[in-house]
Amino acid sequence: MAFRSLPIAAIGSLAATAAASFAPAAAQDIEFTAEVSAELRYFADGPAYAGQIERWQPSIVLEPELRWSDADRTHQVAILPFYRADFQDEEREHFDLREAYYRYNDDDGWSVTLGLAKVFWGRTESRHLVDIINQSDSVEDIDEEDKLGQPMAHLSVLRNWGTLDFFVMTGFRDRTFPGADGRLRFELVVDTDDPIFERDGRRAAPDFAARYSHYVGSWDFGVAVFHGTSREPRFAIEGAGGRIRPVYDRITQGSIDLQYTKDAWLWKAEAIVREGHGDAFFAAVAGFEYTLYQVFGTGADLGLLTEYQHDGRDEGLVLEDLGLGAPTSVLAAPVTVANDDVFMGARLALNDLKETTLLVGGTIDVADQSTGMFIEAERRLGENWAVELQARLFLNADPGNVLFVFREDDFLNLRVTRYF
């Protein structure tokens, strides 16, 4: 089982702070909940690479959640562990603290958070370019929606002219990747035990970020800057047919995210400028969601989504001195499938007591028509149970497209969850 490099010093400091916060008070609120899920993933085709799982991949997920606050919610503590037991891929079996923090909320409109936390930035459906605080937990899924907890000190200031957020982060979290047994991987297995860091090989170099967000009329927007270790690694290839090592560069990224609401229309956009991976580049995703309310005379709502993705990062291999004694072949920038693509999808919410939802979407490459599609459906079964069904398809994958490595990895995933 993999333990994802949890920063012990940060957790120890958090525990001491939390212990002090649990001092007797006139009234306190302690809430404990948990989710236990059984998951079964079925691959429609045999593996593309030797040693991979054949068809079936069962696993179990445990997600307990402990929250505490005092009477007026000035002091808050949250602890959210995550554990997956995977019976096929040892790299997918892992434990993580998704969140474990202490938060102080001041009556004057500011708060401080210390510990491991998750922070989401983003507007669009198909890609979250600006969401850079947390590392992706890629053994969970390839859509970068699942995140590892990030150690941080976070100051948030809320005023009538907007919200300011400041972050200081340490204890870098490496991205997770499937092992030799796993599906949804490259032909060569990524050696997560031996990463390369730009700053003298140190993962402890601090990261800094700041964001201003506000709304004006029908506009919601955020402007942010990040300086630190990239959450997206490049890959160094050592020797012919050798191993792949992740390379984490120091980058500076500026970003903007926008949303305009007009009746049933939501217009959304995210854009970044990043330097630190070869030449500085611009990337953006923009589009709309139009909602049809009470479709077919029912209480259901149907949202129609369309977005365009552009990414101008460098492509291909370059020779670079990474401090390994000789120039090494390394990707000029992290890989992406979203360099010139169109996304279309539909979101159906039945608005029933069972909270039934369905999301269907697909992204097609404008140049070579490589297509990735997904289906996500969810429904509650009584008060304490829920079922989720997910499918991913990789169609017409061109050998020059990143999706080609997943060409045999179409899968159906069934998840049943019990809530406590």
For residue 25, name the pLDDT band (cuts at 50, 70, 90).
very low
> CATH code at 157?
2.40.160.10
Residue 8: the pLDDT is: 42
Give yes or no for residue 27 having a pLDDT over 80: no
Residue 243: the pLDDT is: 84
53-62, pLDDT tens digit by residue? 999 999 999 9
- CA–CA separation, 132 vs 119, rounded Å? 9
The mean pLDDT of 386-403, rounded to a whole number, is 96
Q: Are residues 214 and 221 in contact, defined by beta-carbon separation less than 8 angstroms?
A: yes
Residues forming a β-bridge with 119: none
Residue 2: the pLDDT is: 57
Of 409, 347, 345, give the one whose Cα is nearest residue 378. Answer: 347
Give yes or no for residue 1 having a pLDDT over 70: no
For residue 325, name the pLDDT band (cuts at 50, 70, 90).
confident
What 356-360 contacts at long range (C-beta under 8 Å, 24+ apart), as own/partner pairs, is 356/380
Residue 10: the pLDDT is: 46
Domain range for 347 is 2-419
Q: Are residues 296 and 281 in contact, defined by beta-carbon separation less than 8 angstroms?
A: no
How many residues are recorded in the chain?
420
Q: Are residues 99 and 79 in contact, defined by beta-carbon separation less than 8 angstroms?
A: yes
The DSSP secondary structure of 245-283, one letter per residue, reads EEEE-EEEEEEEEEEEEETTEEEEEEEEEEEESEEEEEE
For residue 379, name the pLDDT band (cuts at 50, 70, 90).
very high
Which has the higher per-residue pLDDT, 4 or 115?
Answer: 115
Residue 327: the pLDDT is: 83
70-111, pLDDT tens digit by residue? 989 999 999 999 999 999 999 999 999 999 999 999 999 999
Give yes or no for residue 26 having a pLDDT over 90: no
pLDDT > 70: percent of the chain: 92
Half-sphere exposure of 384 (CA within 13 A, CB side): 6
With a CB cutoff of 8 Å and minimum separation 6, the contacts of 356 are 349, 350, 377, 378, 379, 380
Cα 222 to its chain centre, rounded Å, is 19
Handedness of CA 91, 206, 156, 258 (dihedral sign): negative
Give yes or no for residue 279 having a pLDDT over 80: yes
198-219, pLDDT tens digit by residue? 866 567 789 999 999 999 999 9
Give the least confident one: 197-206, 266-275, 336-345.
Answer: 197-206
* Three-class DSSP category at 230: coil
For residue 17, name the pLDDT band (cuts at 50, 70, 90).
very low
pLDDT > 90: percent of the chain: 83
- CA–CA separation, 24 vs 26, rounded Å? 7
The mean pLDDT of 117-134, rounded to a whole number, is 97
Structure tokens at 241: 């047919």
- Name the domain count of the chain: 1
Residue 148 buriedness (CB in 10 A; 0-12 / 13-18 / 19+): buried
For residue 126, name the pLDDT band (cuts at 50, 70, 90).
very high
Summary mean pLDDT of the chain: 91
Angle CA 90–93–99, to nearest 5? 150
Q: What is the DSSP letter of 91?
A: T
pTM: 0.89
217-264, pLDDT tens digit by residue? 999 999 999 999 999 999 998 876 678 999 999 999 999 999 999 999
145-166, pLDDT tens digit by residue? 999 999 999 999 999 999 999 9
The mean pLDDT of 18-39, rounded to a whole number, is 73
State the DSSP H helix or E strand holding residue 357, giving kind and residue range, or none if neither.
strand 357-365
Residue 240: the pLDDT is: 65
